[in-house]
Amino acid sequence: MPTEEDWHDLCALNDIDEEEPHFVNAGGRELMVVRVGDEVSVFTDSCPHIGASMVGAVVEDGHVECPLHGACFDARSGEVSDGPTDQNLQCHPSRLDGERVYVRLESAGS
């Protein structure tokens, strides 16, 4: 069962540009934070196509595009919408608390 310790403070909402993801490390994991309006989603920073980092990705029309081979994913859910993969981005539960973005990363064995 998740505990309050499983929630990590990532960044301020204003740190996230709506046209490119924000990258952070939390709980020993590399994460990609994507913003569409006032909605924020947090994904593992790894394209499921070949496991490459998403650094350099762009966000447009509610989708995030991998810079390596052009795989596109829904910026809210991480579901693949186009490109050379049929696997989704790994999405983590997130929440806004005031102007801060938090992510829940369950401990190993949870």
At 106 the pLDDT is 76
| Full set of structural domains in the chain with CATH | 4-104 (2.102.10.10)
Do 97 and 88 touch, CB atoms closer than 8 A? no
> How would residue 108 be classed by pLDDT, with cut points 50, 70 and 90?
low
What SS3 class is residue 6? helix
Task: Work out the mean pLDDT of the chain and round it to a whole number.
Answer: 92
Q: What is the pLDDT of residues 12-47, one digit of tens each?
A: 999 999 999 999 999 999 999 999 998 999 999 999
Distance CA 68, CA 41 (A): 21
**Stated pTM of the model:** 0.91
Residue 6: what residue type?
Answer: D
Per-residue buried b or exposed e for 39-66, using 16+ beta carbons within 10 Å of the residue's own CB: ebbbbbbbbbbeebebeebebeeebbbb
At 36 the pLDDT is 94
